[in-house]
Structure formats: structure tokens, C-alpha cells
Chains A and B, each alone.
Chain A
Amino acid sequence: MDYINAFWVGGLICALAQILLDKTKLMPGRIMVILVCTGAVLSAFRVYDGFADFAGAGATVPLIGFGHLLYQGVRDAVDESGLLGLFMGGLTASATGISAALIFGYLASLIFRPKMKD
């Protein structure tokens, strides 16, 4: 059952983003920014936890899950260390994803050569 929920929820988010991509002049980069900020807002209004319990990876794999991770990190760090937590929690929680993308991305530039566009 968790596979089915992950599939249709994750798929639905992508299909909705496709409307933005086709019907507006928003560039992919802008859509990614919008998704991450939306995730942070949803998380702040406490709608994300129930949503993530229901949809599993369907809620966490899309980039809105990245926003959720950032806000959740900030919130937990504020609970733990107060004002300082505001500046600590976000990047701590998202460290794996950001570091992995940067490190693998850099290594890829050493291994692979640019391809011709077709």
C-alpha cells in the first residue's frame, strides 16, 4: 500500500508542477525554488507530518520534502538551543542531500566529458 500512495502522491505533485512548466513562463530553477519554499510553509503549518506519514517517499522525494526538512531542522534546533538554533538547524538537517549533490556532482565533472546536445 505504501508503494501505491508514494506513486500517486509523488506523481500528482509532478503533474501539478507540469502545469506550471507548460502554462507559465516559469523556468525550471524558479519552479524548484517555489517547491522548496512551499514545503517549508506547509511544514510550518504542521500539515506536512500527517502528509508524510500517509505518502511516505511520495512526500519526501519531491523537492517540497527538502523544504520540510529545512524547516523541521530549524524547529528542532530552536527547541534545543533557542535563538542559535535558527541558524543551525536547516543546513544540519539537509546536510546529506546538499553535500551528496555537490560531491557527486564535482566527481562527475572529473569523470564525464560534456556531451553534444541532440
Chain B
Amino acid sequence: MTDNGKNEQTAKKYEKYVKKVTPTHSLPLNMAKAFLVGGLICVLGQYILNTAETMGLGQEEAGSWCSLILIFLSVLLTGLNVYPKLAKFAGAGTLVPITGFANSVAAPAIEYQKEGQVFGIGCKIFTIAGPVILYGVLSSWILGVVYYVMQLWR
């Protein structure tokens, strides 16, 4: 009995200790940070879109320039070790935009360059880009098959 009581006490003490040591993640705060940074990246994208369109480019070309410039900036900031610091603050705010995709390509390419051109950079560059491209292509293909069949029906 007394042994049990003692165990319970230490268990409670331990629980308290774990609670104290675990860093508190406030979801609303993290969401606000993600909202702010993610929103600002989209505003930058909108600025590129608008600028491209005033230069007389079509919607599709403007969109391509927008992706191109955002990806370039993201890779540059990844190389300069700025993007990881921003990501620590913004969480999903830097993950969700296309800049997060570019970061996931550049970061392992830089990280694993010592392991060689083929098995280092060549393989690791696709660590996250590979699944994203695979499932993106696959899902759009499946939906495309549905569209194709529906067109035959008409």
C-alpha cells in the first residue's frame, strides 16, 4: 500500500516535471505566424504577377515568371541559411508556398553534396520533390482519365 502511494507520488512528480520541460506550443500563435508569413509570400507573388502583367505578359506566362522568381529567391535564401531560420518562426507559412517546395529541393542538395554527384546530390535532391512530383502527376493522371472517359460519353 505504502509502496503504491509512493509510486503514485513519484509518477505525479514526474508528470509535473515533463510538463515543465516540454516546450509549450501554442497552436493559435503558430497559426498566426504561419498566416502572416505565408500571406506575405503570396503578396510578393501577387506583386510579381501584377508587374509581369503590366509588362504585357499573358496570365500563364506571368504565373510562370512568378514561380520562377519565388523559387530562385527561396533557393538563394536556403543557401544563405536564411530560409531555415524563417521556417523555424513561420512553420507551415514557409512550407505551403512554392518556396517551401524549392527549399525542400535545395536544402538536401546542399546538405548531401559530400556524398557525391549521383548518390549524394542526385538522389537526395528528390527526397521530398520526388513524392510531390510522383503523387501530383499520378493524381492528375487519374483525374484526367476520368475527364477523358467523360468526354467520350458526350
Which A residues are within 8 Å of any B CB, using their own CB?
A: 2-3, 6-15, 17-23, 28-29, 31-33, 35-37, 40-41, 43-44, 56-58, 60-63, 65-67, 69-71, 73-75, 78-79, 82-83, 85-87, 89-91, 94, 96-98, 100-102, 104-109, 111-115
Q: CB distance A17 to B45 under 8 Å?
A: no
Of the four ranges (under 10, 10 to 19, 20 to 34, 35 or more), the interface on chain B belongs to 35 or more
Q: Contacts A37-B135, A40-B139 given: A18-B34 contact, CB under 8 Å?
A: yes
Which B residues are within 8 Å of any A CB, using their own CB?
A: 25, 27, 30-50, 63-64, 66-68, 70-72, 75-76, 78-81, 90-93, 95-98, 100-102, 104-106, 109-111, 113-114, 121, 125, 127-129, 131-133, 135-137, 139-141, 143-148, 151
Contacts of A28 in B (CB 8 A): 95, 100, 104, 128
Q: CB distance B71 to A61 under 8 Å?
A: no
Give complex CA distance A35, B38 in Å.
14
Contacts of A91 in B (CB 8 A): 137
Task: Tell me whether chain A's interface is mostly helix, strand or loop, or mixed.
Answer: helix
Q: What are 6 inter-chain pairs, A to B, with CB distance below 8 A?
A: A8-B39, A15-B92, A18-B93, A35-B96, A66-B132, A90-B144
Give complex CA distance A36, B41 in Å.
18
Contacts of B101 in A (CB 8 A): 32, 63, 66, 97, 101
Q: CB distance B110 to A18 under 8 Å?
A: no
Q: CB distance A104 to B110 under 8 Å?
A: no
Q: Contacts A71-B140, A97-B71 given: A63-B43 contact, CB under 8 Å?
A: no
Give complex CA distance A22, B143 in Å.
30
Give complex CA distance A46, B109 in Å.
36
Q: CB distance A44 to B96 under 8 Å?
A: no
Nearest residue, chain A, Cβ from B26: A22
Contacts of A37 in B (CB 8 A): 135-136, 139
Nearest residue, chain A, Cβ from B40: A7
What is the minimal beta-carbon distance from A97 to any residue of chain B, in angstroms? 4
